[in-house]
Amino acid sequence: MHMQIQQALEDTCTSIGHDSRARSDTQTSVIVEDEHLVDLDVLYARLNTTPDNGLTETQASDLYEMNGPNAITPLHQRSDIVKFLRHLVGGFSLLLLAASALSFVAYGIQYAGGTEDNVVDNLFLGLILLALVLVTGGFTYYQEAKSEKIVKSFIKLAPKRARVLREGELYEVLVEELVVGDIVDVTSGDIVPADIRIIRNNGLKVDNSSLTGESEPQPRSDKSADLHPLESKNMAFFSTYAVEGNCRGVVVRTGDCTKMGAIARVTGMTSGEKSPLAIEIDHFITFITLFAVIFGVMFFIMAVVKGHKTLEAFIYLIGIITANVPEGLLPTLTVCLTLTAQRMKSRNCLLHKLEAVETLGSTSVICTDKTGTLTENKMSVAHLWYNMQMHDAIRADNGDISMAAQRSASKGWEALTRVMCLCSRAVFEENQDHIAVRDRKCNGDASEFMRSLSTPTINISCPFMSRQYTRSGHILVIKGAPEKIIDQCSTFINVNEEEVQIDDGFIASFTETHTRLANQGERVFGFAHKFLDPDEFPEGCEFDRIDRLLNNLCFVGVVSLMDPPRAAVPAAVASCRRAGIKVIMVTGDHPNTAKAIGRAVGIISPGVRTTDEIAPLDGEPQAIVVHGTDLARMKDYDIDAILQNHSEIIFARTLPEQKLRIVEGCQRVGWVVAVTGDGVNDAPALRKANIGIAMGITGTEVAKQVADMILLDDNFASIVSAIEEGRLLFDNLKKTISYALTANIPELTPFLFFILAGIPLPIGSIAIVLICIGSDIVPAISLAYETAESRLMERKPRNSVTDRLASHALIFQAYGQSGMIESAAGFLTYFVVMGESGFMPSTLLGLSVAWNDPTANVQDSFGQDWTYENRKNLEYTCYTAFFVSIVVSQWVNLIICKTRRNSFFEQTRQINYYTVFALMIATGLAVLLAYCSEIGTYLAFREIRLEWWFVPISFAIFLFVYDELRKHLVRMFTNTTLAAEAPKLHSNGPKCQELGWSCIPLALETYDNWGKEAHDTFSRLESYLAIHQTSPKSPVVIEIDGRLNRALVRSIVRAILARELLPS
């Protein structure tokens, strides 16, 4: 494979301006790759472009028409016909097709042998099974196409763009619209939009790992060239990304003719892996298929041993296979995904793969950024500190900062504003002069706030560092975290406008100011400058190592910004708490700023003290704020201990690469991690997390590409909405499986009693198939439209290892409980019909062989003779009655499957009209088959008495009452075997709040390090209760984790009573 890739890279299309729609065709002539070697003037002439103006719009349009879009052609794209055929032979469809084929074989054998018995039945059975496959396959294909269309519309909401120079104007276009000869700008965080020759470089480094496997970022240059294009530093390649710096380049290759396009053709790298949900579905299909085949073969053997004809046993095999297939599952899955896609779109969440939303539903911890995610990302200046004096920012109506008194003749003000402007890349979008400053749209980082203090446009090499040449020489300016900037300074501008040496008095004033602003939740920046020696650094000199100049700077001031929390975030964080999801803030801001925002949004609870606020002997604090420098010194087990022993965590002053260590730590302790990110350095953490979430507004293209989900509004509340959608998707799929599997038992047990007890067959294969069509598929699909249960977001996160889609508990509930009750209803109806016709249950035992013998007459319990024809009419009447009993029972089964934990009466507040429609379809089909003689004659159905409809109703009522009682016990005794399948609530807190009570959840982690001494336990509990400030006038519920040692629980209760820690 390595040799193939190398060959592909060497054989990349080299002609410029050829038709990219024929890129995969064999080239009849090859032009030597020399774009990286020739002089730029020669290259410009060859491409008919200029570095100052770029292409004209006419040129770009013509080249686009000739070469096609700048995109790699997807490999292995299946046509619609192939996709449809895959649905016809995939999943359970293959099993049904096999059953259909066997039916046709049985029909052929009987027809060829001249046997008239059941010939038409088997023909109709085969046709119905074939029609069932076509209908379910077509419906699944339609829904999948609908989902794909929605996903494609998602992509259009967050298109990839590139900055291109055309006709002298720099603006953004879609990456697909780039053509050979375009002049493009690439900056840190961008994905290189095409293969480009660098014509102007400013410290650019690119990550070529996806192309060459090199793990270290590679520096680029506008001069260095190597004979091999991949080794040439003046080239940057399509789909690699810029880690640092920026550059301008000319496009020399696009789409399939890029180096990455060559690799894609050889390796098929565009194909994806199966999602966890797809693997889960495959696992379930495999289980059901094996069960159906093994069970069917066993029955076939037993039927032959019992004396049945081989052909008869063969037909019974078909019935058993058909009875085991939950035909409604796959259509329901596609409907669920389609509905999820529509809802996610309305909630500003873009998923690269819809199946990833199911993993979101299992999320147990969210590692979130602060700026722009928890806050509004609308920075405004709150305070300025320069000349060792604090100044409040006063804004005019148009948003400009008004400081006329400070501006005039103030050396400190001039120095501060100069540094702020030079260190900012933020620019207002065009044609906004008539809009107030605060309302204008701005391109750039949220912290680059001072563009309204207009300065001449400059070329900036780095967002936090810049240089400018003045009459007195170069000036180096820098911004960043105040404590970092101050370490690189030796002087400051004092109150007398003089530059003096930093002393203890200045350090004390600086520290007090910094701490006070950070404690107010403001984001604080420090600014410094340095005038360089004009003799050592003349005009036009190259700066390749600016970092060595970062010493002996002059500190010019501090600016604080206020970024208010988003209004919806506190409620979203509270929802996460109720759902058992831990929210961890990971930010580069000062710890005090992070803590203030954390308290404002609820990451740190009211009244809860952090490690720096609680004395060592006052008990173990719940909350902790970890500084990035401390995190750098920690071992992995230290990080694990923090994550496990503290319920409220903030990581502050962290580096992007440290976010990866935090994510790995969360995964080591067994959590499913969702992590947010927006920068290039966030990419490893986004890729490592179970769900990577990129910011749609502030996120770089690199972050968006590696993430599983993109937040189009950068809002934390949207993450919680997505988690709810993931839980709802999994919930509805489990409801569908429970509903479908329940009907398998009343469809299988008739064959079991037929073979083992020798009774006439209670229900035929055609009736079973019709149950699948009328009473399985449509009702199962209707469950996809169920809304979330009232306390869905109060459940514990799902354990993806133990809580499978088709868990043992669910199978036992469907097969061993509900299915058995439905079977009892069917057999009661069967015995009633037989009894009223003269056949008592004792007479039916062992009667099956004689019953199916066309030459024999059979006597009933009263001695009456029954001919074969009369017996068959009675048998078909039993088919109909058994069919009706299953339909009636499935009415109730559909109703009880609407909830997994709540009472049905809680879910009736929102009517699912699709469920009502499904009940009407199932009932209508039963009436049609029972009372339309023309149809019944061909499908082995006969008319039944009206009173026989009421026989199974008693069992249906019992099933409803039993399930309501089961769910009630589940809600009362959550840790019993009975509640194994029901989702567990994380906390009783919301219910207690409704009653006006206090609720203190004490989880297992709370006690992990408490020791065995009762006194230590009691004192810590006392501190815990004091922190929560429980009211003496209202009851208090202490929720104790069931995994705790019982002796410890008894000790806690005795301590509460003996020490009167709580009101009686």
Amino acid at 346: S
- Give 477: exposed, middle or buried? Use CB within 10 Å, 0-12, 13-18, 19+: buried
**447, two tokens:** 């912290």
369 is catalytic: yes
Cβ atoms of 559 and 527 within 8 Å: the answer is yes
Tokens of residue 129, six digits: 């099974």
| Chain CA centroid to CA 605, Å | 27
Which residues are 768's β-sheet partners? none
Q: What angle do CA 549, 555, 558 make, to 5 degrees?
A: 130
CA of 616: how far to CAs of 591, 609, 1010, in Å?
20, 12, 14
What's the CA angle centered on 717, arms 711 and 718, to 5 degrees? 35
Across the strands, what pairs with 473? 470
At a CB cut-off of 8 Å and minimum separation 6, what does 909 contact? none
Residue given tokens 């074969």 in the structure block: 868
Alpha-carbon torsion (73, 75, 80, 83), positive or negative: negative
Place of tokens 């339909």: 887
The tokens for 518 are 């950070």
Q: Can you tell me the distance from the alpha carbon of 907 to that of 206, in angstroms, rounded to the nearest whole number?
A: 55
Task: Name the 3-class secondary structure at 141.
Answer: helix
**Residue type at 234 in one-letter notation:** N
Comparing CA positions, the residue from 254, 250, 259 lying closest to residue 181 is: 250
**Coil vs helix vs strand at 204:** strand
Cα separation, 528 vs 511, whole angstroms? 16
User: Which is catalytic among the residues 190, 369, 589, 803?
Assistant: 369
- The DSSP line for 900-929 is SSS-HHHHTTS--HHHHHHHHHHHHHHHHH
CA-to-CA distance for 1052 and 305, rounded, in angstroms?
65
Helix (H) or strand (E) holding 202: strand 195-207
Burial, 262: exposed, middle or buried (Cβ in 10 Å; 0-12, 13-18, 19+)? buried
Distance CA(787)–CA(907), nearest Å, equals 9
Cβ atoms within 10 Å of 490's Cβ, excluding its own: 12
What is the Cα–Cα distance from 365 to 349, expressed in whole angstroms? 18
Helices 913-931 and 868-896 meet at what angle, rounded to 10? 170
Q: Any alpha helices (H) in 213-275, and if so which ranges?
A: 259-267
Please give the Cα distance from 477 to 1029 (Å, whole number). Answer: 50
Residue 14 neighbours by CB distance under 10 Å = 18
User: What single letter denotes the amino acid at residue 123?
Assistant: L
For residue 388, count other CB atoms closer than 10 A to its CB: 17
**Distance, CA of 241 to CA of 186 (rounded, Å):** 9
CA distance 819 to 749: 10
Using the 8-state DSSP alphabet, how is residue 817 labeled? I
Cα 373 from Cα 446, distance rounded (Å): 12
Dist. CA 471–CA 835, nearest whole Å: 112
Residue-wise burial string across 707-731, b where 16 or more C-beta atoms lie within 10 A, e elsewhere: bbbbbbebbbbbbbbbbbbbbbbbb
The residues annotated with a catalytic role in the active site are 369
